[in-house]
């Protein structure tokens, strides 16, 4: 006889359930989308928020961190949005197109829709697409992400986002910045669908500006990289905020395709950047990098699952973490190799630099291999600044603080430079210097 044990909801869980009941009639979508939302909130009712007894959240207990859940953000006022955008320029003078999401909704009037159309890119509103016949498909996730608690929350509350389609063979002259903006406090649930057509190339910059106050930010990126296509994404999770920032990407990689990404975390009180990569075509490659900086009481989590479901694919994962104060870093990475995925080549490395004795790093690289003709390896290191190198720099007249900065910058820059996107390297390294100046 099975007896279900009722959950004693936390304040945050009660807030989320109440929020759904109050807002579900206003959330965009067809009848099929509404059914997916109901199924997602049912998962919250039955399991609660992800917590330390869920293996994937063992080191980043969202249930313990989230004390309450603020209402969803209201529609942004145009004057507030224009003011924030005019004063924020994450990548400096870098020439790029821009797509704007404000308080969870796509803003066509401030996005370079017409210019992108000339390059072969169609940009439309997710909130409009959810109401159409194929709306439910935009919220249906591959197996690797469909049971995740954060993805379920996103499905329940998603307000909108952008649908980006790059036509076959298109090769954009400059990168595209997809910028999310908060003009006021309140939670945001955003989903962006990006499809890169056969043989096309897209470089995507994913940024966020503004402050959600006590509201969590939950964003899902759904990438489809068709045969022979290439997608490079640079994601910045920055800004000193006291609430949760939750980012998920789910990449489906076709044959002879290339997927490259860098997740950059600096300054958030609770940040989780999780990535699910699924190889569906042979002779493809994924290169996934991470740069993490945390201080004070911050927690920064980089989680990754790569599914090698077909033969002859390569993956490389390289993550760097610097921790100060009483902060905690988390790296969870797993490479899955299916029984028939012969000739798989996968390598994973995570390295952490601890600047204080109270900082803590949880490294958990894993391999699950069910094929016999593969090359797979993983490794993890944690340590402090090399005192010999520090002495070498100081002996040449460099002050200790500056010497430490140089060593930390060199440590993190290894991942940035291997990512090999030259037009964003300077901006990323400047972000590292800004963080180090405050620590």
- What does DSSP assign to residue 74? P
**Mean pLDDT confidence for 114-128:** 97
Task: Using alpha carbons, select from 168, 189, 181, 240 the residue that is nearest to residue 71.
Answer: 189
Q: What's the number of domains the chain is made of?
A: 1
pLDDT in tens, 378-401: 999 999 998 999 889 999 899 988
Q: How long, in residues, is the chain? A: 439
Instruction: Identify the pLDDT of residue 242.
Output: 85
Distance CA 302, CA 264 (A): 9
* Residue in the structure block whose two tokens are 């003009």: 183
pLDDT in tens, 258-307: 999 999 999 889 999 999 999 999 999 999 999 999 999 999 999 999 99
pLDDT band at 4 (very low <50, low <70, confident <90, very high): low
**Mean pLDDT confidence for 305-329:** 97
pLDDT band at 90 (very low <50, low <70, confident <90, very high): confident
Give pTM, 2 decimals: 0.95
Q: Starting from the edge strand earliest in sequence, which strands make up the sheet with 201-210, in order?
A: 105-106, 97-102, 176-182, 201-210, 230-238, 258-266, 285-294, 314-323, 345-354, 375-383
- From residue 404, give the alpha-carbon distance in Å to each of 179, 319, 409, 429, 432: 33, 20, 8, 15, 13
| Residues of the domain holding 31 | 11-385
Instruction: Identify the pLDDT of residue 47.
Output: 94
- Is residue 6 in some structural domain? no
Distance CA 213, CA 319 (A): 29
Write out the two tokens for 223. 């990438």
* Residue in the structure block whose two tokens are 């600047």: 355
- Is residue 191 in some structural domain? yes
Neighbours of 133 (CB within 10 A): 9
Tell me whether residue 176 is exposed, middle or buried, using C-beta atoms within 10 angstroms of its C-beta: 0 to 12, 13 to 18, 19 or more. buried
- Is residue 170 in some structural domain? yes
Distance CA 422, CA 170 (A): 21
- Is residue 413 in some structural domain? no
Instruction: Identify the pLDDT of residue 282.
Output: 98
List of E strands, 244-371: 244-253, 258-266, 270-279, 285-294, 299-308, 314-323, 328-337, 345-354, 360-369
Distance CA 215, CA 413 (A): 32
- Is residue 415 in some structural domain? no
- Weakest mean pLDDT among 36-45, 135-144, 287-296, 363-372: 135-144
Instruction: Identify the pLDDT of residue 241.
Output: 83
Q: Quickly list H helices, 245-301.
A: none
Q: Quickly list H helices, 55-213.
A: 62-65, 78-87, 113-118, 126-129, 143-146, 149-157
Q: What angle do CA 139, 341, 252 make, to 5 degrees?
A: 20
- Is residue 33 in some structural domain? yes
Say what percent of the chain tops pLDDT 90: 84
Beta bridge partners, 102, equal: 105, 181
- Is residue 5 in some structural domain? no
| DSSP letters spanning 299-320 | EEEEEEEEEE-SSS-EEEEEEE
Write out the two tokens for 393. 């720099």
pLDDT band at 208 (very low <50, low <70, confident <90, very high): very high
Contact call for residues 435 and 327 (beta carbons, < 8 A): no
Contact call for residues 270 and 294 (beta carbons, < 8 A): no
pLDDT band at 141 (very low <50, low <70, confident <90, very high): confident
Q: Is the pLDDT of residue 1 over 50?
A: no
- Is residue 3 in some structural domain? no
């Amino acid at each position: 006889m099975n007896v279900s044990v009722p959950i004693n909801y936390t304040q945050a869980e009660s807030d989320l359930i109440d929020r759904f009941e109050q807002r579900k009639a206003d959330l965009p979508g067809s009848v099929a989308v509404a059914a997916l939302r109901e199924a997602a909130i049912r998962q919250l009712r039955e399991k609660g928020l992800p917590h330390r007894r869920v293996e994937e959240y063992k080191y980043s207990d969202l249930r313990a961190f989230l004390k309450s859940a603020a209402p969803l953000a209201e529609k942004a006022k145009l004057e507030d949005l224009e003011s924030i955008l005019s004063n924020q320029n994450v990548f400096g003078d870098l020439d790029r197109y821009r797509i704007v999401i404000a308080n969870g909704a796509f803003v066509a009037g401030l996005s370079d829709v017409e210019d992108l159309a000339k390059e072969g890119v169609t940009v439309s509103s997710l909130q409009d697409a959810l109401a159409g016949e194929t709306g439910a498909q935009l919220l249906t996730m591959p197996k690797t992400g469909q049971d995740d608690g954060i993805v379920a929350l996103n499905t329940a509350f998603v307000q909108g986002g952008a649908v980006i389609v790059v036509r076959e063979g298109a090769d954009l002259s400059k990168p595209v910045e997809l910028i999310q903006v908060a003009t006021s406090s309140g939670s945001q649930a955003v989903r962006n669908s990006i499809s890169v057509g056969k043989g096309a190339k897209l470089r995507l910059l994913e940024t966020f500006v503004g402050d959600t106050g006590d509201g969590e930010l939950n964003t899902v990126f759904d990438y489809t990289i068709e045969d022979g296509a290439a997608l490079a994404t640079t994601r910045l999770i920055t800004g000193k905020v006291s609430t949760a920032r939750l980012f998920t990407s789910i990449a489906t990689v076709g044959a002879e395709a290339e997927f490259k990404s860098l997740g950059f975390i600096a300054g958030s009180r609770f940040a989780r950047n999780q990535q699910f990569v699924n190889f569906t075509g042979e002779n493809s490659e994924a290169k996934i990098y991470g740069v993490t900086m945390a201080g004070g009481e911050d927690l920064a989590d980089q989680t990754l699952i790569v599914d090698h479901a077909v033969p002859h694919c390569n993956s490389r994962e390289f993550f760097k973490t610097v921790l100060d104060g009483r902060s905690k870093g988390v790296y969870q990475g797993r490479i899955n190799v299916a029984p028939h995925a012969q000739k798989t080549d996968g390598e994973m490395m995570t390295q952490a630099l601890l600047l204080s004795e109270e900082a803590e790093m949880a490294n958990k690289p894993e391999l699950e291999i069910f094929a016999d003709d593969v090359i797979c390896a993983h490794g993890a290191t944690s340590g402090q600044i090399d005192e010999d190198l520090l002495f070498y720099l100081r002996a040449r007249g460099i002050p200790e603080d500056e010497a430490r900065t140089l060593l930390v910058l060199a440590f993190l820059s290894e991942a940035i430079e291997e990512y090999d996107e030259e037009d964003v390297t300077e901006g990323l390294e400047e972000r590292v210097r800004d963080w180090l100046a405050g620590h």
